[in-house]
């Protein structure tokens, strides 16, 4: 069974696992450009305790962690993020479905946005298959959006 575990309630092992994933060469190049130190990771987790505009979850399938999904609110607009457990393949659809469920059924958003590097073909295909549309682009990035309802 799929369940979400909020980053504010992770145990020590999960905390370190997420740090390793954030710096994993199969994930990091698609998310950010620099190495994340232990102190930065700790600061990021501390911020999540009081910043209600940022929500991060581990996605569990029974005892297995499939990946991470996130929601960041800026000026009333929500952006999602995701990455899969780097040791797994083919669970992007499940992570994506959890994102849409949380956004449109729990948070009852009217709109959900994200950014994706133009070079990240796997992520882009996944998003387009789930009904996201590109509404803007610049040199390196596609900006995508999905309207609520119709789930």
Ligand X SMILES: CC(C)(COP(=O)(O)OP(=O)(O)OC[C@H]1O[C@@H](n2cnc3c(N)ncnc32)[C@H](O)[C@@H]1OP(=O)(O)O)[C@@H](O)C(=O)NCCC(=O)NCCS
What's the token pair of residue 140? 């390196």
Nearest to 91 by CA among 69, 115, 67: 67
Point out which span in 44-52, 70-78, 116-124, 142-150 binds ligand X (CB under 6 A).
116-124
Question: Taking a C-beta distance cutoff of 8 angstroms, is the pair 131, 141 a contact?
Answer: no
**Exactly one of 66, 92, 102, 103 binds ligand X (CB under 6 A); which one?**
92
13: alpha, beta or left? (left if phi > 0; alpha if psi -120 to 50): alpha
Instruction: Quote the longest CA-to-CA distance of the chain.
Output: 42
Question: Rule CB under 6 A: is residue 90 a binding residue for ligand X?
Answer: yes
**Exactly one of 83, 104, 132, 142 binds ligand X (CB under 6 A); which one?**
83
Question: Rule CB under 6 A: is residue 89 a binding residue for ligand X?
Answer: yes
Nearer to ligand X, 90 or 150 (CB): 90
Please tell me the total number of residues recorded for the chain in this structure.
Answer: 151
Question: Rule CB under 6 A: is residue 113 a binding residue for ligand X?
Answer: no
Nearest to 114 by CA among 68, 74, 65, 60: 74
Q: What angle do CA 96, 19, 128 make, to 5 degrees?
A: 20
Question: Rule CB under 6 A: is residue 120 a binding residue for ligand X?
Answer: yes
x/- map, 4-33, ligand X, by CB under 6 A: -----------------------x--xx--
**Exactly one of 10, 58, 116, 144 binds ligand X (CB under 6 A); which one?**
116
Q: Which residues bind ligand X (CB under 6 A)?
A: 27, 30-31, 82-84, 89-92, 95, 116, 120, 122-123, 126
């Amino acid at each position: 069974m799929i369940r979400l575990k909020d980053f504010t309630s992770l145990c020590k092992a999960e905390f370190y696992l997420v740090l390793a994933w954030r710096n994993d060469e199969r994930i990091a190049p698609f998310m950010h450009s620099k190495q994340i130190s232990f102190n930065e990771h700790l600061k990021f987790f501390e911020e999540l305790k009081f910043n209600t505009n940022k929500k991060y979850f581990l996605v569990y399938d029974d005892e297995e962690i499939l990946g991470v999904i996130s929601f960041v609110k800026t000026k009333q607009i929500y952006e999602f993020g995701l990455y899969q457990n780097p040791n797994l393949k083919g669970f992007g659809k499940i992570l994506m479905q959890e994102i849409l469920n949380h956004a449109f059924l729990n948070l009852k958003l009217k709109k959900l946005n994200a950014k994706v590097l133009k070079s990240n073909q796997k992520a882009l295909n996944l998003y387009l298959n789930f009904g996201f549309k590109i509404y803007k682009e610049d040199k390196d990035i596609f900006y995508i959006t999905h309207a609520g309802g119709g789930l």
